Amino acid sequence: MKFLIFTPALKESAIGRMARIVAHALIDQDHEVVVVRAECGRMLSRPMHTFETDIILWTDEAHVLSAVSESDVVIYHIGDNFEFHEGCLAWLSRVPGVVCLHDFFVGHLFYSWAQTHRKEADTILERWYGADLTKQFFKFSDNAAFIEGTSVAAPCTEWIASQATGVITHSHWGTPQVSRACVGPVRVVPLAYDAPGASAGSETYVANQYGRMKLLTLGHVNTNKRVVSVIHAIAGSETLRRNLVYRLVGPVQADVAFELSALANSLRVNLMISGEVDDAALSSAVIEADAICCLRWPSLEAASASTIEALLYGKATIVTDTGFYREIPDDCVVKISHVNEIDVLRATLEYLYTKPEDRAAMADRGRRWAESSFRPAGYAKELVDIAAASQRVRPIVNANAHFDRMMKGWGASDALLNAPSTVSARAAMSNLLGKHINRQVLSPRYPEK
């Protein structure tokens, strides 16, 4: 099979890293792969992951159209970052394909896209979420208010799913919104990921049974990673203040780093802020850690690459009991309720410090489960399968596209095309065509521990 894969490819993108892993697995299974870089124009010259296949820029229209004509299926890796996925949005509406959906909230993606598609954006919002939410969507005072007001009420996943011939996503919690919008198959498949330094780390790492325990948080330092809660949890325990070092590795704004350092100093918490580091330093940080804190609130992603990496490295891992994290077996991680988060986290950290043998046993269970779950070869096979299944709904997609072209030829506006009466007519046509199509193939793919 010939795959054309739209994805961010720059080094900073975890989705790009995952797409590279899957592309290599597809090639190993004797499929052909061409990759289209999907980042915004100013990012297309940045260093990228190594795909070992042909690379096209999404802005090279002639080359992309030629690749589309030669491909059996088009794949789009999409997450909630417009600058990383601008090319996916530009081409998905023109060339429908299978979407690998990495986030169940793509409100930021939609918000940025809407800046140049405002009328169309308003009709899309009203279609899926109603007039009241449409009026409020672009008026929130700040990002925290935006997430609180839209993450449940208007996640915008329907906007993406409605353009796809099929969707692969990586946990179950957000699939109802996807399934109600996608005309094709929807599948839950564990995210493909790797941990290049894990085997070397297992040979060099010695559990810190005495002295200070090293706690690590990975990734962009923002409020939903609960760093402030972790600092307060450590501060409330004399044992933890004396015996725990908390390290942050990942991009962090200067003002955020200053505020966190000031808070930690005032509470006598040993905090190290390393900022963004290269791959070798990142791997070393993970290897050196005794435990990794992967708290998220709110949790908006379909899967957490940093959590998967922590498990693959065989690290004791702390997560929030929500979303994707609930699908990890209970004995492979420590799950923290967001209610009384600081108190529960303090008790958890004290337990992990005083019980290194339990910490190591949990880490080993998590590693074995992760190795059996997040396999690139398995993901590639599922992608081949859903690509074939999605072809059965192409008559529906083509009919809808023909309907839209015909209406636009008659002078129909985007508002009319998205009006309730038009949507109902399109749905009736799709249901008629889809009578004998098994549209939804939603199945749990995570192995039992």
Could you read off the pLDDT tens digit of each residue along the chain, which spans 449 residues?
A: 999 999 999 998 999 999 999 999 999 999 999 999 999 999 999 999 999 999 999 999 999 999 999 999 999 999 999 999 999 999 999 999 999 999 999 999 999 999 999 999 999 999 999 999 999 999 999 999 999 999 999 999 999 999 999 999 999 999 999 999 998 999 999 999 998 877 654 544 445 544 689 999 999 999 999 999 999 999 999 999 999 999 999 999 999 999 999 999 999 999 999 999 998 999 999 999 999 999 999 999 999 999 999 999 999 999 999 999 999 999 999 999 999 999 999 999 999 999 999 999 999 999 999 999 999 999 999 999 999 988 877 666 666 666 666 766 677 766 666 666 665 565 555 555 554 444 444 454 555 44
Q: Dump pLDDT digits (tens) for 244-280.
A: 999 999 999 999 999 999 999 999 999 999 999 998 9
**One fold for 2-192+376-433 and 198-373:** yes
**Cβ–Cβ < 8 Å for 92, 163:** yes
2-192+376-433: CATH topology: Rossmann fold (3.40.50)
Strand, helix or coil at 317?
strand
**298 upstream amide cis, omega within 30 of 0:** yes
Please state the length of the chain: 449
Beta bridge partners of 248: 217, 273
Label the pairing between strands 316-320 and 244-249: unpaired
Neighbours of 266 (CB within 10 A): 10
Taking CA atoms, 17 is separated from 76, 84, 216, 383, 404, in Å, by 14, 13, 21, 17, 36
Nearest to 299 by CA among 105, 446, 78: 105
Supply φ then ψ for residue 61, to 5 degrees: -60, -45
**Cβ–Cβ < 8 Å for 422, 130:** no
Q: Which residues of 51-90 are buried (b: 16+ CB within 10 A; e: fewer)?
A: bebeebbbeeeeebeebbeebebbbbbbbbbbbbbbbbbb
The pair of three-digit structure tokens given for residue 39, joined into one six-digit string: 């980042």
**Edge-to-edge, what's the strand order for the sheet holding 73-78?**
54-57, 32-37, 2-7, 73-78, 98-101, 166-169, 186-188
What does the pLDDT read at residue 391? Answer: 82
Distance CA 158, CA 125 (A): 10
Distance CA 307, CA 158 (A): 26
Tell me the three-class secondary structure of 174-227, residue by residue.
CHHHHHHHCCCCEEECCCCCCCCCHHHHHHHCCCCCCCCEEEEEECCCCHHHCH
Q: Residues 6 or more apart from 446 whose CB is under 8 A from it?
A: 188, 190, 327, 373
Homologous superfamily of the 198-373 domain (CATH): Glycogen Phosphorylase B; (3.40.50.2000)
Distance CA 388, CA 71 (A): 13
For 34, what's the count of Cα atoms within 13 Å in the CB-facing half-sphere? Answer: 18
Instruction: Scan for tokens 């890796």, then name that residue.
Output: 77
In the chain, what is the greatest distance between 2 CA atoms, to the nearest angstrom? 76
The structural domains of the chain, with segments of one domain joined by +, span 2-192+376-433, 198-373
What does the pLDDT read at residue 214? Answer: 97
Dihedral sign for Cα atoms in the order 18, 21, 24, 30 = negative
What does the pLDDT read at residue 319? Answer: 98
Distance CA 205, CA 359 (A): 14
pTM of the model: 0.88
What does the pLDDT read at residue 172? Answer: 96
Label the pairing between strands 316-320 and 291-294: parallel
